[in-house]
Amino acid sequence: MLRILFFARIREELDCATLDWPWPGQAIDLDTLQEDLCLAYGAKWREVLSQDNVIRAVNQTVTNDNCALHDGDEVAFFPPVTGG
C-alpha cells in the first residue's frame, strides 16, 4: 500500500488530505502513480496535479525528478512552502 498525502491549497482543491492507495503488485514510479491517480479521479485532479509548481515528496524528502516507489512508501503533493 502507498500512503498519499496532500497539503494546503492542493489538499483543498482536491478535497482530499490522505489516501491509501493499494500497492499495484508490480514496479511503479512516481509519474505512473500520478497518472493512475488522475485516471482514477478525473480531470480536476489532472488539472491540479499537473500545475507547474506542485512539489512531490517521497518518504518526507522532496524529489525533483521521477523515481521508483516501493510498497509502504509515503508520497506527498504540495504547493510551494510559505512558512517562517
Partner 1 sequence: MARLQAALLAGAATEGAIATFTGYVRTTNDKRPVHSLELEHYPGMTQRSLKNIAREAATRWPLLAASIVHRVGVLSPGEQIVWIGVAAAHRGSAFAACEYIMDFLKTAAPLWKKEKGPAGERWVETRKEDGERTQRWQEIGGR
Report d(CA 41, CA 14) in Å as an integer: 9
Provide the minimum distance between the beta carbon of 39 and partner 1 in the complex, in angstroms, as a whole number.
Answer: 26
- Selected range binding partner 1 among 21-29, 31-39, 43-51, 71-79, rule: CB under 8 A: 71-79
Q: Does 14 bind partner 1 (CB under 8 A)?
A: no
Shorter beta-carbon distance to partner 1: residue 26 or 60: 60
Which of 3, 9, 38, 46: binder of partner 1 (CB under 8 A)? 9
Which of 20, 27, 60, 65: binder of partner 1 (CB under 8 A)? 60
Report d(CA 77, CA 7) in Å as an integer: 7
Q: What is the DSSP code string of 29-77?
A: EHHHHHHHHHHHH-HHHHHHHTSTT-EEEETTEE-SS--EE-TT-EEEE
Chain residues that interact with partner 1, rule: CB under 8 A: 5, 7-9, 11, 53, 57, 60, 62, 76, 78-84
